[in-house]
Chains A and B, each alone.
Chain A
Amino acid sequence: MENKTINDRKQIGNKTIVPFVDIIEEKERFVLKADMPGVTKDNLNVSIDNNELTIHGKVDQTATKNQTYSEFALYDYKRSFVINKDIERKNIDASLDNGVLTLVLPKSEKSKPRKIEIRVAS
């Protein structure tokens, strides 16, 4: 009898948590900021698959035996966002500064605000 419980799932890969995220809309772009303390540039992966933008950061989870008091633990970060065609995907810029990931997502030409010229009716 196969007795596969949910417990088995825990053993696959590291535990992940969802990072805090701010998204700001500007005139010509969106800015996404995610708090990911402990993540280095090499361990951070930002990918787009179809309409899903995924940020995935890995941290060193090796727990030290000598920890005598703990208020936080570092876990891998993972979060996905649905983006639509209004974003210029080729020009997405990502930077990591002091554990904060900043993604700049430029809006595509057609979704930028534009001024409508008014012509004088003759």
Chain B
Amino acid sequence: MTTNYNLIGDVLGLKNIVDEYFDTLPYQYNRVHDAPLVNLEENGDNVTITALAPGSKIEDINLELIDTTLQMTINRPRDYENAQYIRRERYFGTFSKSVRIPFRVNPEKINAVLKDGVLSVTLEKSEDAKPRKISIQ
């Protein structure tokens, strides 16, 4: 009888053990937080930009559309000033990021929602940027 070693699987298993160890460290442990983290999602004529903004209220967030660039500034005020910290991992300050939208945007149809610390901005393609069928005479 021969023993079958699954060499590749075992090596990948070791990788997972190491990955799991680092997963138990606080999230994004080494990241520099000078800009909000964003995701971009495209759905036909819409683009949705999601950003993490835990602890920020609506009045702390400033959104500006400059031509085809969406500029987001998220302010996160410190919730304790002179406190005796036992553990301190959270980050505060002002974070801003500009995202260039790949098309011209209809300024009337921008929808921004802040829910559970996640900001999502949906922008729609402007009418004159949408493809149109040209009829041949």
Cβ-defined contact, A66 with B84, below 8 A? no
Closest to A41 in B: B116
Kindly state the separation between the CA atoms of A36 and B117 in the bound complex, as whole angstroms.
8
Binary per-residue interface labels of chain B (81-123) against chain A in the complex, 1 for a CB within 8 Å, 0 otherwise? 0011111111100000000000000000000001011100000
Nearest CB on A from B128, distance (A): 23
- How many Cβ-Cβ contacts under 8 Å join chain A to chain B? 127
Residues of A within 8 A of B89 (CB): 20-22
Is A7 touching B90 in the complex (CB atoms < 8 A)? Answer: no
Known A-B contacts A5-B9, A23-B86, A24-B80; A67 and B39 likewise in contact (beta carbons under 8 Å): yes
Determine whether B41 belongs to the interface, using a CB cutoff of 8 Å to chain A. yes
Check: B69 CB closer than 8 A to any chain A CB: no
The reply to whether A5 and B13 contact each other, CB–CB distance below 8 Å, is yes
B130 at the interface (CB under 8 A from A): no
One of B3, B55, B85 near A24 (C-beta < 8 A): B85
The verdict on A18 contacting B40 (CB below 8 Å), with A5-B10, A25-B86, A99-B117 known, is no
Least CB distance from A56 to B in Å reads 14
Mark out the residues of chain A between 55 and 78 whose CB falls within 8 Å of any chain B CB in the assembled complex: 64, 66-74
Can you report 19 residue pairs joining A to B where beta carbons are below 8 Å apart?
A3-B6, A5-B13, A6-B17, A7-B9, A21-B87, A21-B90, A22-B90, A23-B86, A24-B80, A25-B86, A30-B86, A33-B79, A37-B53, A37-B117, A72-B38, A73-B39, A74-B118, A98-B57, A99-B117
15 A-B pairs besides A7-B12, A20-B27, A73-B39 with CB distance below 8 A are A19-B26, A20-B90, A21-B90, A22-B89, A23-B85, A24-B83, A35-B55, A37-B53, A38-B117, A67-B39, A69-B39, A71-B37, A98-B117, A99-B116, A99-B118
Closest 8 CB pairs of A and B: A99-B117, A37-B117, A99-B54, A6-B13, A69-B40, A72-B37, A23-B86, A23-B87
Q: Which B residues are closer than 8 A to A by beta carbons?
A: 3-4, 6, 9-10, 12-14, 16-17, 23-28, 37-43, 52-57, 79-80, 83-91, 114, 116-118
